[in-house]
Amino acid sequence: MNAQINATVAGVPRIGPKRELKKALETYWKDDSTGRNLATVATQLVNQQADNLTEAGLDSVPTIGRSFYDSMLDTSALLGALPARVADIEDHGNDGLPAFIDRLFAAARGTAELPASAMTKWFDTNYHYIVPELAADTEFRLDDAALLADLGDQVTRGTAARPVLIGPLTYLALARTTDGSDALTHLEEIFEAYARLLPRLADRGAAWVQFDEPYLVTDVDNDDARKADLLARTRAGYEKLVSAAGDTNLLVQTYFGDGDLAVKTLSGIGIAAFGVDLVTGRTDERQADDTNVADADLLPSWSGEGEILAGVVDGRNIWRTDLARALDTLKALAKRGPVGVSTSSSLLHVPYSLAQETSLDNDAELRSWLAFGAEKVAEVALLSRALRGEESEGDDAAVAEAHAAVASRKNSERTRNAALRERTAAITEADRHRNPFDQRREVQEKELGLPPLPTTTIGSFPQTTEIRQARAKLRKGDFTPEQYREAMVNEIKDVIDRQEALGLDVLVHGEPERNDMVQYFSEQLEGYHSTDLAWVQSYGSRCVRPPILFGDVTRPKAMTVEWFTTAQSFTDKIVKGMLTGPVTMLAWAFVRDDQPLGETADQVALALRDEIDDLVDAGAKIVQVDEAALRELLPLRRAQQPYYLEWSVGSFRLATSGAEDATQIHTHMCYSEFNELIGTIADLDGDVTSIEASRNGMQVLHALKDSGFELAVGPGVWDIHSPRVPEQGEVDKQLADALEAVPARQLWVNPDCGLKTRGWEETTAALKVLVAAAEKARASVNA
């Protein structure tokens, strides 16, 4: 058994370099007789990956076995804790698939009869996990046949396979209970289940087992006593695991933040290694943040006992590592104890390999700045050789080359646009301020002439097959740009007509031309690069291709004015301009790490500010700037949140404060866990903010009111995440509740979110209900 790991990665993607698993899954879901195919594809992917990692020089290979959807969901299946409602779903006896596979998919996706489990974002990433559904009486029963079989296969093939499990603290901290009980009361039970599992993994030949405990990079709990209790119980649990593991070594892995608390909590009990993220908080991206730590100050709690698997290669962003700098960090740590090399997080969050990315064929410079999954693995292997003084031929040159590439990115004209930099240097506080809301409101009420409780939508209307086909045809060259344009204009006309017929007050053009709200703008801005095959899993079989924000962002020309003008030409009603805000434009991209995020956000903000100017010149009276991702980027630790909120709010205000009093600025956010962000919504100073509210019965409005919120607000009265058309009475009630919380003058009426994933049938029916509810409420307000 190897007592030390020299080179590894913290985790691996599962979807396949060409999205093979996605395709096999979707085929299986359509027709479950194809189980054999799904099993074969998944096995091939796991084997191929193991071979690639081994050949690249890793001496320990993380394996999640054949994971078909999500690791949290796998953990629920492993612990026998899939939701009770799926228990009766029959095992189809699918050849070669785990016996629980159909129950697992039913939990993840729902069935015709059963609702799906909740899905939510994995820490501050754009990956979504399936939320465990537990209750006080949940019993955990190991269902480890699939895991053991997969591990056995890998060991037989000669892979140094290291099973990766979600640690008990993280699993429970991210779980929800259906009965309001505290999920963490199950902590000891899960440790016991894992203690039974470990000898079985050891029997199958696992020299190492990894437990992911990223929850240990958060505040764990805001209450100090509860935090101390949880940490003590976690320590006691791992102590049991160490003794149950026998000769098998345990690795505790944290990521997305400082790993020191994990080391501190779990030192002195025989944990063989700690995998830690040495990238987050240490790149220049947060240099203005006081969390930036020097090499000498890393991991103060590490006494040299237990190995550190130093995550010096960024697992969630696509920049090439400065190998010289990484080597300095590794050497500084190695003076204090045993050190191996790893990634800062699982490679789940980055595309597979630069080799297949054809969009870079003609851009050698940009390509030289990047490292995707396979390239990161090579970096890890090289750093490990260099650290141990076992360099291969060419390694020294590669270190120098990587260092030079990083320097060239910092000095390139493409990342440093002199004219833009002059402009950002001249930004003043005044550029982030509009006149007081009272004053704006008065002007806007006159200018817009809207009825009380105005009705509107969030922007997109159903993305029909025809719309998608038109886009595909344009891409393939089957449509000329003129033909495509004509298709979009017809669509916009149709959407405007339908909104007029429904009697909505403020109309939208429907966003038919937008594949994705970030991608659409990134394709038109300098400083972004759109990829063609750089897919990453978002959830289940869903993948996204985040654009690469590599350089200074500028707007060569107006981006949306033509569509707006077209839409406005079809109606006398007001059409809203529709833009994506700076934070969201960063959150759903791979963002440059050579300057603070706030500086990048300000550049995007200036492009949006100019776009708003152009829209207003073209006649727009209302412009909406969506910030769907504002909550997502909120730092995991409270101490780091004020800094984030300052730059994120600042960039939104820079984008929108060029507007005169008469221009009404809307913004939209699609989540309801606002409590910590109530003050932030007010700080954004948007004239109208639409938010999700229907699923929690307007609670958020009461919180807004209590905080003295005076701006206008549009609580979503139709939950668009479900195809169900609400009853008239339900929406009437939502509005009545809303009116109880805030004065009519402050209230707008709209759905929860954009309608692009909905069909026309339910959209039309639900909007009719919405408009009728607003009319009734209006009558009662006027009376």
Instruction: From the list ligand GLN, Zn ion, none, pick the one residue 578 interacts with, judged by a Cβ distance below 5 to 8 Å according to partner type.
Output: ligand GLN
What is residue 778's three-state secondary structure? helix
Of 495 and 670, nearer to Zn ion (C-beta) is: 670
Q: How far apart are CA 621 and CA 664, in angstroms?
A: 6
- The answer to whether 668 contacts ligand GLN (rule: CB under 6 A) is yes
Instruction: From the list ligand GLN, Zn ion, none, pick the one residue 626 interacts with, judged by a Cβ distance below 5 to 8 Å according to partner type.
Output: ligand GLN
Q: How far is the CB of 523 from ligand GLN (least distance, A)?
A: 17
Say if residue 126 carries a ligand binding annotation. yes
Q: Which of residues 189-248 bind ligand GLN (CB under 6 A)?
A: none
Q: In this chain, which of 360, 687, 754, 769 binds ligand GLN, going by CB under 6 A?
A: 754
* Binding flags for ligand GLN, 623-662, as an x/- string (CB under 6 A): ---x-x----------------------------------
Give the count of residues interacting with ligand GLN (CB under 6 A).
13
Q: How far apart are CA 344 and CA 264, in angstroms?
A: 19
Of 103 and 668, nearer to ligand GLN (C-beta) is: 668
Strands (E), 631-728: 664-669, 688-691, 712-715
Q: How far is the CB of 378 from Zn ion (least distance, A)?
A: 39
Say if residue 542 carries a ligand binding annotation. yes
Q: How far is the CB of 430 from ligand GLN (least distance, A)?
A: 29
Say what the alpha-carbon torsion angle 376, 377, 380, 382 is, to the nearest 10 degrees.
Answer: -100
Give the count of residues interacting with Zn ion (CB under 5 A).
2
Q: In this chain, which of 25, 201, 517, 585 binds ligand GLN, going by CB under 6 A?
A: 517
- Report yes or no: 644 and 582 within 8 Å, Cβ to Cβ: no
* Binding flags for ligand GLN, 589-628, as an x/- string (CB under 6 A): -------------------------------------x-x
Burial pattern 510-521, b for ≥16 Cβ within 10 A else e, equals bbbbbbbbbbeb
- The residue whose Cβ lies closest to Zn ion is 670
Q: How far apart are CA 237 and CA 382, in angstroms?
A: 36
Of 517 and 717, nearer to ligand GLN (C-beta) is: 517
Say if residue 668 carries a ligand binding annotation. yes
Ordered alpha helix ranges (H), 184-258: 187-203, 224-245
Q: How far apart are CA 624 and CA 61, in angstroms?
A: 47
Q: How far apart are CA 647 and CA 706, in angstroms?
A: 25
Query: What are the backbone dihedrals phi and psi of residue 677, each rounded to the nearest 5 degrees, phi first?
Result: -115, 5
Residue partners of 422: CB distance under 8 A and separation at least 6 = none
Q: E strand or H helix at 704, and its extent?
A: helix 699-706
Q: How far is the CB of 629 from ligand GLN (least distance, A)?
A: 8
Query: What are the backbone dihedrals phi and psi of residue 596, each rounded to the nearest 5 degrees, phi first?
Result: -60, 145
Say if residue 235 carries a ligand binding annotation. no
Of 433 and 724, nearer to Zn ion (C-beta) is: 724
Q: Which of residues 450-489 bind ligand GLN (CB under 6 A)?
A: 458-460
Say if residue 51 carries a ligand binding annotation. no
337: left (phi over 0), alpha (psi -120 to 50) or beta: left
Of 58 and 681, nearer to Zn ion (C-beta) is: 681
What is residue 89's three-state secondary structure? coil
What is residue 65's three-state secondary structure? coil
Say if residue 626 carries a ligand binding annotation. yes
Instruction: From the list Zn ion, ligand GLN, none, pick the one residue 682 interacts with, judged by a Cβ distance below 5 to 8 Å according to partner type.
Output: none
Angle, vertex CA 635, rays to CA 632 and CA 641, nearest 5: 115
Q: How far is the CB of 686 from Zn ion (least distance, A)?
A: 14
Going from the C-alpha of 338 to that of each of 219, 262, 303, 304, 345, the distances in angstroms are: 28, 17, 11, 7, 20
Of 376 and 576, nearer to ligand GLN (C-beta) is: 576
Of 172 and 518, nearer to ligand GLN (C-beta) is: 518
Q: How far apart are CA 85 and CA 135, in angstroms?
A: 13
Say if residue 563 carries a ligand binding annotation. no
- The answer to whether 383 contacts Zn ion (rule: CB under 5 A) is no
- The answer to whether 670 contacts ligand GLN (rule: CB under 6 A) is yes
Which token pair is 449? 């002439």
Q: How far is the CB of 387 from ligand GLN (least distance, A)?
A: 44
Q: How far apart are CA 216 and CA 167, in angstroms?
A: 10
Q: Which of residues 670-689 bind Zn ion (CB under 5 A)?
A: 670
Say if residue 543 carries a ligand binding annotation. yes
- The residue whose Cβ lies closest to ligand GLN is 754
CA 476 from chain centre, in angstroms, equals 30
3-class secondary structure for 744-762?
A: HHHECEECCCCCCCCCHHH
Angle, vertex CA 723, rays to CA 717 and CA 729, nearest 5: 40
Of 369 and 671, nearer to ligand GLN (C-beta) is: 671
- The answer to whether 693 contacts Zn ion (rule: CB under 5 A) is no
Amino acid at 556: P
Going from the C-alpha of 123 to that of each of 129, 255, 413, 623, the distances in angstroms are: 10, 10, 34, 31
Instruction: From the list ligand GLN, Zn ion, none, pick the one residue 581 interacts with, judged by a Cβ distance below 5 to 8 Å according to partner type.
Output: none
In this chain, which stretch among 103-111, 198-206, 358-366, 753-761 interacts with ligand GLN, using CB under 6 A? 753-761
By annotation, the residues acting in catalysis are 721
**C-alpha dihedral sign at 38, 40, 46, 52:** negative
Q: In this chain, which of 241, 659, 753, 769 binds ligand GLN, going by CB under 6 A?
A: 753
Say if residue 22 carries a ligand binding annotation. yes
Q: How far apart are CA 700 and CA 102, in angstroms?
A: 37
Q: How far is the CB of 580 from ligand GLN (least distance, A)?
A: 8
In this chain, which stretch among 16-24, 254-262, 695-703, 746-754 interacts with Zn ion, using CB under 5 A? 746-754
- Report yes or no: 309 and 263 within 8 Å, Cβ to Cβ: no
Q: In this chain, which of 97, 101, 360, 578 binds ligand GLN, going by CB under 6 A?
A: 578
What is residue 505's three-state secondary structure? coil
Q: How far is the CB of 626 from ligand GLN (least distance, A)?
A: 5
Instruction: From the list Zn ion, ligand GLN, none, pick the one residue 133 interacts with, judged by a Cβ distance below 5 to 8 Å according to partner type.
Output: none
Of 186 and 668, nearer to ligand GLN (C-beta) is: 668
Q: How far is the CB of 685 from ligand GLN (least distance, A)?
A: 19
Of 130 and 579, nearer to ligand GLN (C-beta) is: 579
In this chain, which stretch among 167-175, 182-190, 211-219, 753-761 interacts with Zn ion, using CB under 5 A? 753-761
Of 346 and 456, nearer to ligand GLN (C-beta) is: 456
Q: In this chain, which of 263, 553, 567, 753 binds Zn ion, going by CB under 5 A?
A: 753
DSSP 532: S
Going from the C-alpha of 628 to that of each of 517, 518, 612, 620, 667, the distances in angstroms are: 10, 10, 18, 22, 9
Q: How far is the CB of 628 from Zn ion (least distance, A)?
A: 5
- Binding site as annotated, residues for Zn(2+): 668, 670, 683, 692, 753
Residues that bind Zn ion (CB under 5 A): 670, 753
- Binding site as annotated, residues: 22, 126, 458-460, 511, 542-543, 588, 626, 668, 670, 683, 692, 753
Residues that bind ligand GLN (CB under 6 A): 458-460, 511, 517, 578, 626, 628, 668, 670, 753-754, 756
